[in-house]
Structure 1
Amino acid sequence: MENLNIGQHISRRYNEELEDIRNRVLAMGGLVEQQLKDAMTALEKRDAGLAAQVVERDCEVNAMEVAIDEECNRVLARRQPAASDLRLVVAVIKTITDLERIGDEAERIARMVSTLVREEHSTRLFTQIRNLGHHVSSMVHGALDAFAHLDTEKSVEVWSEDRLVDDEYDSLMRELMTYMMEDPRSIPSILQAMFAARAMERIGDRAGNICEYVIYLVKGKDVRHTRVDKSG
């Protein structure tokens, strides 16, 4: 397998274009991370004002995805990249799609907050999903760190966390169902908690996807639907 040659082209402008694309992905990732953090804080504190800010900023995430996608298309048209350069562009296009969807899930969580402010019993119930939220937030951060450093070992580590998130999600859903059966008055709040938990579980899936793209970029292997191997 050939080594990545990002930043090693004869054309300085080409080097700059590829590096700019990577930097813009990381900037988008930083914004998405902040969106997720603020959505989780708004959910825990039932802060409708902060939730509204998350919803309003979603357009920024969308705009960044469009801009990066357009730049990738320009590189494909002008440079006709091959080998590792082509893998970089493909990995970026896929990564920004998952980042945009993580942003959508953060917005979805934030939109739930406005319906919870008036729910008397929601604080106790939504405290139960805090650990899940922190877990998937850590996965997103780790996936972006792996992308920044082209770190396949970190990618495998983060990717493996998705199974734990799935188990945590299943356990939480059983717990929320128990609450709902014990106190029918809490059903509206519990349903919102279930929707939020489902959004978080999907965020974990998206973070895992980004890790798969890093492995593809570095090693040229498509590891979707397979068992990831550190030594492959």
Structure 2
Amino acid sequence: MSNRHISSRFDADLERLSSRFFEMGGLVESQLANAMEVLNRFDPDLVEKVLAEEHRLNAMEVEIDAECGNVIARRQPAASDLRRLMAISKGITNLERAGDEARKIAKRMRRIATDSAGSNVNVAEIQASGRMAATILHHALAAFARLDTVAAAQIMREDDAIDDQYRAFVRKLATYMAANPRIISAALDYLSIASAIERIGDHAKNLAELVIYMVKGTDVRHVSRERLEHEALGD
């Protein structure tokens, strides 16, 4: 078999895996949108849809990860090609976990719907952070598709805004619970929802870090913001 044919087959493998990765990313985006719609307007059918789609996400993660391993074993890629495969493998784990968080939101909302005290909690910060999480997840997937390290660096700053909304909600929630103990159960469920959204932002940030890894070959996990931006924006 000619080297050219081997290269063509490898390119096809990469393209197929990339396509599956973005298919999974689109499903997670849909999961999050549905979960946030349940937060805005409780719909038991939509809750069940979010829960059911989680099984599909789990299966996709297993299938894509297995195929990444098969391609690495068969093709023995090096340098940027290996980094791309590794990034896809790590990226689907983050996508699956983001889907898990969307499922948690739906499940908590199902419980809140049975507690009339839940309507007394102002969830404006949760709604705002949910919109932010959806936005940065979309931006992270777009940066992954374009191998855009500048956009990846921007996502780090966008994730900080979600963290700020989360902290603001926690402070407000403590005040609510102190003033009205009847809402404590619902308030704790809302706190779990806020935490889930914050973690979705973290998973989007992890995807952005993988973009920098693919392009620059540098692992920027657990490094300072200054070092990360230097790696993302430097030549």
TM-score tier after normalising by the smaller chain length? over 0.9
Q: Partners in 2 of 1:126 and 1:84 — Cα distance?
A: 48
Provide the TM-score with structure 1 as the length reference.
0.93
Output one character per residue of 1:26-65: Cα deviation in whole Å (capped at 9) or x when no partner: 0000000000110111122122221111001100111111
SS of residue in 2 equivalent to 1:121: helix
- The answer for the alignment partner of 2:233 in structure 1 is 231
**Which range moves more in the overlay, 220-229 or 192-201?**
220-229
User: Which position in structure 1 is the counterpart of 2:161?
Assistant: 164
1:133-212 equivalences under 5 Å are 133-212=130-209
Partner-residue secondary structure (3-state), 1:171: helix
The residue type equivalent to 2:51 in the other structure is V
Tell me the secondary structure at the aligned position of residue 225 of structure 1: coil
Task: Determine the structure 2 residue equivalent to 1:4.
Answer: none
Query: How do 1:1-232 residues align onto structure 2 when only pairs under 5 Å count?
Result: 11-125=7-121, 127-128=123-124, 129-226=126-223, 227=225, 228-229=228-229, 230-232=232-234
> Counterpart of 1:46 in 2: which secondary structure?
coil
Question: How many pairs are equivalent?
Answer: 225
Consecutive unaligned residues in structure 1, runs of 5 or more:
1-7
TM-score by length of 2: 0.92
The alpha carbon displacement at 1:164 in A equals: 1.8
Which letter maps to 1:113?
M
Structure with the largest fraction of helix = 2
* 8 Å CA contact 2:149, 2:233 repeated in 1: no
Q: Output the amino acid matched with 1:42.
A: V
Name stretches of at least 5 consecutive residues in structure 2 with no aligned partner.
none
CA distance in 2, matches of 1:194, 1:77: 44
1:122, CA displacement in angstroms? Answer: 2.2
The answer as to whether partners of 1:132 and 1:168 remain within 8 angstroms in 2 is yes
Residues 82-124 of structure 1: CA distance to partner in whole angstroms, max 9, x if unpaired?
Answer: 0001100111111000000000000111111221112223245
Identity of aligned residues (%): 45
Compared CA separation, residues 126 and 52, structure 1 to 2 (3 A) = farther
RMSD: 1.5
